């Protein structure tokens, strides 16, 4: 049996569809904010592999309640990692581009993390717990979008179809990553075809929120009013890195598989959305 935390999100759903004999508990069955029961539950169920996708991902909520963010993203992850170590099973943990400060155009696995918000810091603390477990994987990704569940792109398309005016951030750049593609790559880890450790796995080539959304609207045939805005105009509680593009070259070299560009996967997603 394979444990998938965070199985209700678009990535979790896509991954669960690919795996046999999946246990994907909801927050009532496995509350990541309560570490002791998490450890006890996982060790008693004895999964053969763990995909830890569950997290407190609302960046502003993390900033306003850093203690809860730490309980879920750090201590909850530590409990999962401890259970994996106790059972002697592989663990794959989904992390984020937000572990970086955004002062570099392209980040590799050897770059030093320096988070600018509570979300990034607590995810980094989770990474460190996971990497202590022998045979574990930390997969950093960014801007995940795809069928099933709400994501940063689906809201724009839905509002545009209702004729609502929109605005998107023009001074934040990263690599949009397609959930079905990422799920397929994660599923291959069950057979462990690559060495364990830290990998970046995100769509090819960086793009701003504004340009990504604009292209999505064009592909969907939606003539919405889309205005650019800057991060500072939104006055959000949590700062975001301006540039957080992840270089997935190392993963491509190890697997021999190509990393798709965001325009290619965006077309696939919009085709699904239009149906």
Tens digit of each residue's pLDDT (9 = 90 or more) over 156-202: 998 888 888 899 999 999 999 999 999 999 999 998 789 999 999 99
Phi/psi for 132 (5° steps) reads: -75, -15
**CA dist list (Å): 255 to 42, 64, 194, 261:** 30, 40, 7, 17
Reported pTM: 0.95
List strand residue ranges (DSSP E) for 28-152, in order: 49-52, 91-96, 103-107, 137-141, 144-145
Cα Rg of the chain, angstroms: 18
Per the CB < 8 A criterion, the answer to whether 158 and 25 are in contact is no
Angle at CA of residue 7, ends 61 and 253, nearest 5°:
95
Q: In the chain, where are the structural domains located?
A: 2-146+177-202+247-259
CATH class (in words) of the domain with range 2-146+177-202+247-259: alpha beta
Tens digit of each residue's pLDDT (9 = 90 or more) over 24-55: 999 889 999 999 999 999 999 999 999 999 99
């Amino acid at each position: 049996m394979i444990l998938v935390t965070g199985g209700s999100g678009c990535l979790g759903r896509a991954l669960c569809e690919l795996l046999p004999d999946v246990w994907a508990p909801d927050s009532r069955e496995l509350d990541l904010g309560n570490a002791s029961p998490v450890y006890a539950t996982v060790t008693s169920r004895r999964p053969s592999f763990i995909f830890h996708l569950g997290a407190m991902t609302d960046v502003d909520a993390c900033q306003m309640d850093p203690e809860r963010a730490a309980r879920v993203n750090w201590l909850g992850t530590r409990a999962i990692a401890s259970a994996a170590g106790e059972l002697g099973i592989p663990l794959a943990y989904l992390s984020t581009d937000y572990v970086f400060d955004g002062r570099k155009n392209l980040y590799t696995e050897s770059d030093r993390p320096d988070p600018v918000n509570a979300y990034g810091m607590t995810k980094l603390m989770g990474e460190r717990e996971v990497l202590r477990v022998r045979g574990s994987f930390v997969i950093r990704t960014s801007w995940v979008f795809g069928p099933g569940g709400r994501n940063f792109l689906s809201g724009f398309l839905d509002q545009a179809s209702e004729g609502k005016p929109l605005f998107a951030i023009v001074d934040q750049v990263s690599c949009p990553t397609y959930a079905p593609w990422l799920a397929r790559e994660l599923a291959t880890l069950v057979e462990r075809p690559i060495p364990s450790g830290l990998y970046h796995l995100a769509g090819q080539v960086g793009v701003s929120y504004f340009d990504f959304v604009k292209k999505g609207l064009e592909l969907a045939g939606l003539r919405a009013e889309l205005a650019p805005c800057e991060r500072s105009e939104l006055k959000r509680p949590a700062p975001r890195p301006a540039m957080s593009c992840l270089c997935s070259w190392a993963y491509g070299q190890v697997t021999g598989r190509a990393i798709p560009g965001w325009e290619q996967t965006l077309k696939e997603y919009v085709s699904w959305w239009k149906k």
